[in-house]
Structure 1
Amino acid sequence: MATQLPTQVSPPEFALSAALPHQIGGAEVWAFPVLPGDEAPLLGPGAEEASEALGIDLLAALEAARGTGRTGEVTVVPVSAQETSDDVSVVLLIGVGEASPTDFRRAGAALARATKDRVSVVTTLAAIAPDDGLGAVVVGAMLGSFAFHWRSTGPKERPVGRIVLADISDDGADDELARALALGGAGWRSRALATVPANLKTPAWLAEQAVEVGAAGGLEVTVWDEQRLVADGFGGILAVGGGSAHEPRLIRMDYTPPGASRRTPTVVLVGKGITFDSGGLDIKPSEGMLTMKRDMSGGGAVIATMAALRDVGCPVRVIGLVPAAENAVSGSAMRPGDVITHFGGRTSEVNNTDAEGRLVLADAMAYAVAELSPTALVDIATLTGAMKVSLGQWTAGYFTNRDELVAHVEQASATSGENVWRMPLVKDYEERVASKIADGDNAAGGAGAITAALFLQHFAGDVPWVHIDFASAAESPADRHEWTAGPSGFGPRLLLAWLGSEDPLDGIA
């Protein structure tokens, strides 16, 4: 019997209205922003009118609950049937702190968590938001609503069905909402792909998802099966996937912007697609395998990004590559000491079978440089535990061979809320990635995040290149702001903020 994923919950629907909550009928919940004041917190638009309509002093209720207006703080004010003829049963007062886009994204997530299993909510949160703040509320509410289940009885809880952003009359709000839905949807898709268990999520299944979303997003999708990988010389992907009953794949997704010509530059995205990582013959301890269904998170980020490029108006060509394999243990698994030949001929000595991600990325990067003429190359992966040691839980590390790319990455990080920190490509460590018998060694040891980047740099050639290692941010241990417990789905918002900007290759192309 084939394994089938149960029907999953969907993100909330969103709508805009110029009216205030008390003027909009049918909502179960009204929600108002709270700003910290010099002497006492301040309530946002519509709260005064709601107080009159309900006969409840909302400011007094906030003060009684000792509300401060700090970001994400939620004060619940029940409404009895005797107090209103409307459908509203509860009022939420939600802190927005310093009122930055980050604060509004976190407030949106708090709103979503407080309204699960509700039919609808009307809120003026976005009415006082700064530039990009409306979109931040939407993205936060979408991702704060995320849920995944495989229960026979259905999902334990469901996102609120509909969120109406009230007191919005800005002419550009529709466009901002549409863009936010694309960004939030990409984050949702990436998170969902990473959360699917590996008894369903094989390399072939991941390729099927890429084909499906590619058809919906107007993309051309090509998939290499094992036979074609052999014929074309993708030795890294084949070696890593050689121990599994599930054959490896290479997924290619092509996006072409409207009006593109031969002069339109190309960005190539490469995402690690290890659908499960046992460590191979250098097997992980059992606790180290518990989260390894999401070792394809880089590949999931690329698939989700590619699916949303049209919706954010990306002006350049983008090609997404996902080398997908399961790193398993069997008699056909690669061994410590093996030497593999990558696409293009460079060789690697395998001195740690649990350093497999760089081997599949190397094949795809070499293919990109040789065959696709990229103006810029980006790889993204849950690559090294060393990155989590370096940067902790919530920040990804990135490396680049061109200073011109730094401003693009930093601006995208600030805009998206997916935090990154630049790491150094230390030349003195090059000797650690050298092998006595091959061109490179995949197990350089200490300073592991840096040496992994140095290993990959050889496959980037002279192309402007960014390597994003987000093993540090791939898993959220608990609900926190827009992150829900489990795989984070990190990456698409960062990549889309960059690729959806007016000139993603300014200073590079």
Structure 2
Amino acid sequence: MFAIRLTDEFDDARTWVVPVGDDVPPGDVGAEVAALAAQTPGADRAGEVTVLPRPLRRPGRVLLAGTGDGDEAGWRAAGAAVVRALKDDEPAQVRLPADLDPAALRGLAEGLWLGGYRYREAPTPPRTAAVELVTATASRYDRSLAQAQATATATWLARDLTNTPSSTKNPEWFAGQVVDAAAGVTGLNVTVLAGDQLERFGGLRAVGAGSVSPPRFVEISWTPPSVPAPRHVVLVGKGITFDTGGISIKPREGMRLMKKDMGGAAAVLGATLAAAELALPVRVTALLPLAENAIGAAAFRPGDIIRHYDGTTSESTNSDAEGRLVLADALGYAAERLAPDTIIVLATLTGANAVALGKRTAALYSEDDTLARALESAGTAAGERMWRLPLPADYVEYLRSDIADRHSSPGQVHSVVAALYLREFMGGVKSWAHLDMSAPAWAEAHDLELTKGATGWGARMLVRYLSALSPA
């Protein structure tokens, strides 16, 4: 990522960024800024940037940045708009108001980094010039900048992984990325299971059976070294590196973006690494069931009975409902092996909720009101919206099977029934939540702090949630 630094020195050789409505710079620059702002309707809207060229003078350009109500979201939008208005090699300074809230600075820095994201393999080179944030009280904002950097780094990683073509991104490659990312970080441990080690992971093995790239199961854990009894949060992310639909093959358009079907795994990985970076006093374990759902002679079939990690069975009549099968194994593993206080699942599981909630909002399912409120609050602060949907008791009937413990894909109320299915594997864990985030995992165009392509949805929200937790 490009550098963002705090400084207390102005440099008129750099482009200046001036928030609309705040103290204007002294001298002729201030007079020009005030006049332009007064003559530009909507210049104060969050995410609006108005350019003031100053040829043959210093600074040579001034950007007027609208921050809306001046809250964290408004500053985040301003940061994203500003970085898009800057040239990649254009150094810039942002004049911060004297009384700026630290949360607003975090929003600004996140917006700058997130709006300036470039996929690591893209032909367009990344931004190289630093952005300096000018304030007389730099130490007041050190923590906010560190939080923004950890969150943005987690999101960049999640976006990079999700944007990577599936010709590269098979389960083995993804597992290797986890090992590399955790290497040398104190308090992080990684375990990768493959081959015969997956004997009990019937759902994962079934989904990956049709591919030439065998599945993997990855566990990455952060344990704070100085916290005696930390709360233990298990994050489970769906990791289908490409989804053809299997024998229940998708149409061409339905397969177009299926490289994003591991967006949940990417987000929980990024959040776990951020927890270690910020030394959060909470124990975090991320579980990544990784498989490619392909078509082949060994692919699982509609009507197959699958035995999961917890010993129960599922009847599957739709091989395109594969995500819940691999998640079921991960949840059974978590319930038996990890004794979590809380389980949170992130999965690009269904497209159904997008009809009701659109492209920017995930569906939230939980029976724990306290957990649901905490996740909603974290999502609001991070700019990652969610909406809680019900878990009607009478819908459980849809899971009934005549030949297995349950039916995994009955074809009814898809998103809700998928959540009810996952609930069957939570063991005795009462504090759990499932986020169906298929739609917001991808953006078709730049949108505020989102860049076209993978959004890394969930990484920012999870960092906020984990940061708010105290030791158990």
Name the TM tier (shorter chain): over 0.9
Question: Deviations for 1:426-446, whole angstroms, at most 9, x for unmatched residues?
Answer: 111001112111111121223
Alignment correspondent of 1:33:
19
Q: Distance in 1 between matches of 2:306 and 2:91?
A: 56
**How far 1:312 moved relative to its partner?**
2.7
Alignment correspondent of 1:339:
305
Q: Distance in 2 between matches of 1:158 and 1:26?
A: 22
Q: Distance in 1 between matches of 2:410 and 2:261?
A: 20
**1:250 aligns to what SS in structure 2?**
strand
User: Which of these residues, 445, 459, 471, is aligned with residue 492 of structure 1?
Assistant: 459
Alignment correspondent of 2:36:
61
Alignment correspondent of 1:167:
135
**How far 1:67 moved relative to its partner?**
4.6
**How far 1:414 moved relative to its partner?**
2.1
Q: Distance in 1 between matches of 2:241 and 2:97?
A: 38
TM-score (norm 2): 0.96
Find out whether 1:200 has 2:159 as its counterpart. Answer: no
Question: Deviations for 1:447-468, whole angstroms, at most 9, x for unmatched residues?
Answer: 2110000000000122011111
**1:397 aligns to what SS in structure 2?**
strand
Q: Distance in 2 between matches of 1:125 and 1:240?
A: 52
**How far 1:79 moved relative to its partner?**
1.6
Alignment correspondent of 1:100:
71
User: Which of these residues, 342, 366, 384, is aligned with residue 350 of structure 2?
Assistant: 384
Find out whether 1:48 has 2:25 as its counterpart. Answer: yes
**How far 1:150 moved relative to its partner?**
4.2
Q: 1:242 to 1:257 in 2, by over 3 A?
A: same
**How far 1:311 moved relative to its partner?**
2.5
Is the Cα–Cα contact under 8 Å of residues 120 and 160 in structure 2 kept in the other structure?
no
**1:221 aligns to what SS in structure 2?**
strand
**How far 1:403 moved relative to its partner?**
1.8
Q: Distance in 1 between matches of 2:289 and 2:126?
A: 34
- The residue type equivalent to 2:190 in the other structure is V
- For structure 2, the 5+ residue unaligned runs are none
Is the Cα–Cα contact under 8 Å of residues 115 and 159 in structure 1 kept in the other structure?
no
**2:25 aligns to what SS in structure 1?**
helix
TM-score (norm 1): 0.89
**2:235 aligns to what SS in structure 1?**
strand
**2:37 aligns to what SS in structure 1?**
helix
Is the Cα–Cα contact under 8 Å of residues 302 and 320 in structure 1 kept in the other structure?
yes
Q: 1:199 to 1:126 in 2, by over 3 A?
A: farther
Matches within 5 A, 1:416-435: 416-435=382-401
CA RMSD of superposed structures (Å):
1.7
- The residue type equivalent to 1:211 in the other structure is V
Question: Deviations for 1:83-111, whole angstroms, at most 9, x for unmatched residues?
Answer: 23xxx331100111111110011111011
Alignment correspondent of 2:428:
462
Q: Distance in 1 between matches of 2:221 and 2:117?
A: 28
Q: 1:55 to 1:349 in 2, by over 3 A?
A: closer
- The residue type equivalent to 1:215 in the other structure is A
Q: Distance in 1 between matches of 2:279 and 2:132?
A: 25
Question: Deviations for 1:216-248, whole angstroms, at most 9, x for unmatched residues?
Answer: 433110000122112xx1000000000000010
Q: 1:445 to 1:55 in 2, by over 3 A?
A: closer
**How far 1:295 moved relative to its partner?**
0.4
**2:286 aligns to what SS in structure 1?**
strand
Moved more, 205-214 or 493-502: 493-502
Find out whether 1:110 has 2:85 as its counterpart. Answer: no
Is the Cα–Cα contact under 8 Å of residues 43 and 64 in structure 2 kept in the other structure?
no
Is the Cα–Cα contact under 8 Å of residues 191 and 488 in structure 1 kept in the other structure?
yes
Is the Cα–Cα contact under 8 Å of residues 99 and 130 in structure 1 kept in the other structure?
no
- The residue type equivalent to 2:198 in the other structure is L
Question: Deviations for 1:26-80, whole angstroms, at most 9, x for unmatched residues?
Answer: 42x111111xxxxxxx3x23x332x52x596122233444453111111011121
User: Which of these residues, 267, 288, 303, is aligned with residue 322 of structure 1?
Assistant: 288
Moved more, 63-72 or 477-486: 63-72
Q: Distance in 2 between matches of 1:216 and 1:61?
A: 51
- For structure 1, the 5+ residue unaligned runs are 1-10, 35-41
Find out whether 1:119 has 2:86 as its counterpart. Answer: no
Q: Distance in 2 between matches of 1:405 and 1:253?
A: 23
Q: Distance in 1 between matches of 2:457 and 2:30?
A: 44
Q: Distance in 1 between matches of 2:2 and 2:167?
A: 29
**2:355 aligns to what SS in structure 1?**
helix
Find out whether 1:215 has 2:183 as its counterpart. Answer: yes
**2:277 aligns to what SS in structure 1?**
coil
- The residue type equivalent to 1:361 in the other structure is L
Question: Deviations for 1:356-402, whole angstroms, at most 9, x for unmatched residues?
Answer: 00000000000000111111111111101112122111011111122
**2:4 aligns to what SS in structure 1?**
strand
Find out whether 1:235 has 2:235 as its counterpart. Answer: no
Count of aligned positions:
470
**1:305 aligns to what SS in structure 2?**
helix
**How far 1:412 moved relative to its partner?**
1.1
Q: Distance in 2 between matches of 1:25 and 1:64?
A: 24
**How far 1:350 moved relative to its partner?**
1.0
Q: 1:61 to 1:306 in 2, by over 3 A?
A: same
Q: Distance in 2 between matches of 1:321 and 1:348?
A: 21
Question: Deviations for 1:236-295, whole angstroms, at most 9, x for unmatched residues?
Answer: 00000000000100000011012133x333111110000001111111111111111010
Alignment correspondent of 1:366:
332
- The residue type equivalent to 1:191 in the other structure is R
Q: Distance in 1 between matches of 2:99 and 2:152?
A: 21
Alignment correspondent of 1:4:
none
Question: Deviations for 1:94-149, whole angstroms, at most 9, x for unmatched residues?
Answer: 11111111001111101111113133110025655434110110111101011126
Q: Distance in 2 between matches of 1:102 and 1:451?
A: 34
- The residue type equivalent to 1:503 in the other structure is S
- The residue type equivalent to 2:436 in the other structure is D
Q: Distance in 2 between matches of 1:272 and 1:168?
A: 45
Q: Distance in 1 between matches of 2:253 and 2:358?
A: 19
Q: Distance in 2 between matches of 1:63 and 1:226?
A: 67
Is the Cα–Cα contact under 8 Å of residues 314 and 501 in structure 1 kept in the other structure?
no
User: Which of these residues, 419, 437, 444, is aligned with residue 453 of structure 1?
Assistant: 419
**1:268 aligns to what SS in structure 2?**
strand
Q: Percent identity?
A: 40
Q: 1:484 to 1:234 in 2, by over 3 A?
A: same
- The residue type equivalent to 2:331 in the other structure is M
Q: 1:136 to 1:242 in 2, by over 3 A?
A: same
Is the Cα–Cα contact under 8 Å of residues 102 and 141 in structure 2 kept in the other structure?
no
**2:440 aligns to what SS in structure 1?**
coil
Q: 1:365 to 1:126 in 2, by over 3 A?
A: farther
**1:333 aligns to what SS in structure 2?**
coil
Question: Deviations for 1:318-339, whole angstroms, at most 9, x for unmatched residues?
Answer: 1110000000001111100011
